[in-house]
Amino acid sequence: MTIGEILNYGFDHLSQAGIPEAVLEAELLLEYAMDQERIYLHLHRNQNVSETVREKYRSYIVDRCRHRPLQHVVGQAEFYGLKFKSDKRALIPRPETEILVEEVLEQWQPGFHNVLDIGTGSGIIAIALAKHLASARITATDQSPEALELAGINIKSFGLEDNIHLVQADLFPQGAERFDCIVSNPPYIPSAQIASLQPEVGLFEPAMSLDGGADGLEFYRRIAGGLAGRLNRPGLVALEVGMGQAEEVAEMMTRALPASEISVTKDLAGVNRVVLVKMH
């Protein structure tokens, strides 16, 4: 069987299973099965594929046809130009979260050091920041021991154990430590919408990473309630928000930190995605 033939096999099965972008996903799965770039697949469509690769690819296709997320099928996800281990223990990285990282890097000030990443999940935000901010000392919290275990694996793979400290906590760590920058991508999907999510999300991603309470804003209220006692001046808060939530979250931040400067950044789709709070 050639690369072209096995790609056709993958496309046929994925499309029959109702997988969106079946052509792209068939190529991505073969890229992982062969450990080759997609351009290689296009340039060598007549090359024969080994039995080992065929079996691996078939298992990938069967798994994906069950609507298991592609990142879980291959055990890996990409975020901010980096590759992370990804599985059911934490939310799969989304491209829009890269906007959150970009905003923190742009607003970073020379005197900043202490960072708090609330709800770190697989550790992607903390790791991306640590890779670009040599002076940052990052505390990354999560309530889930499973997520922290996955984050620890990812942190170790990048050799950042000395830069990122993992803490099991419900939002803020215990104590009175203050931070120059507080960043979070908290759960923000309203509870009633969880059941209607696409199978890849609703069936395979941890509910506690998705469920933001009745209106999706529960975690923002709780974060806002703790900011005054934990944010340094000057300081920065960066929060990812869901569609239609930016205005209400910005109002919460104004009430929590009345002297702050607040702005909203759109993602590539034009959705208000990140609420920035700057304390001078």
pLDDT value for 202: 86
pLDDT value for 259: 82
Taking residues 106-129, report their average pLDDT: 97
pLDDT value for 164: 98
Taking residues 84-107, report their average pLDDT: 96
Residue partners of 244: CB distance under 8 A and separation at least 6: none
* Six-digit token string for 116: 């708090």
Closest residue by Cα to residue 233 from 256, 259, 263: 259
47-80 as b/e, with b when 16 or more CB fall inside 10 Å?
Answer: eebeeebbebbbebbebbbebbbbbbbbeebebb
Ramachandran area for residue 24 (φ above 0: left; ψ -120 to 50: alpha; else beta): alpha
HSE, side-chain direction, 13 A CA sphere, residue 280: 4
pLDDT of 161 over the 90 cut: yes
Distance CA 38, CA 70 (A): 16
pLDDT of 273 over the 90 cut: yes
pLDDT value for 203: 84
Taking residues 183-189, report their average pLDDT: 97
Tens of pLDDT, residue by residue over 194-246, are 989 988 998 889 988 999 999 999 999 999 999 999 999 999 999 999 999 99
Asked if residue 205 lies in contact with residue 88, where contact means CB atoms within 8 angstroms, the answer is yes
Taking residues 40-49, report their average pLDDT: 96
Residue partners of 148: CB distance under 8 A and separation at least 6: 120, 142, 166, 168
- Which helix (DSSP H) or strand (DSSP E) does residue 38 occupy? helix 38-43
* Domain ranges across the chain: 3-66, 77-279
Distance CA 258, CA 260 (A): 6
DSSP-derived secondary structure letter, 216: S
First CA to last CA distance, the chain: 64
Tens of pLDDT, residue by residue over 7-35, are 999 999 999 999 999 999 999 999 999 99
CA dihedral 274, 119, 194, 103 (to 10 degrees): 10
Q: What is the mean pLDDT of the chain?
A: 96
Angle between helix 3-16 and 22-34 (nearest 10):
130
pLDDT of 138 over the 90 cut: yes
Taking residues 264-272, report their average pLDDT: 95
* Six-digit token string for 148: 């922290």
Residue range 77-279 in CATH 3.30.465.10: no
Percentage of the chain with pLDDT > 70?
100
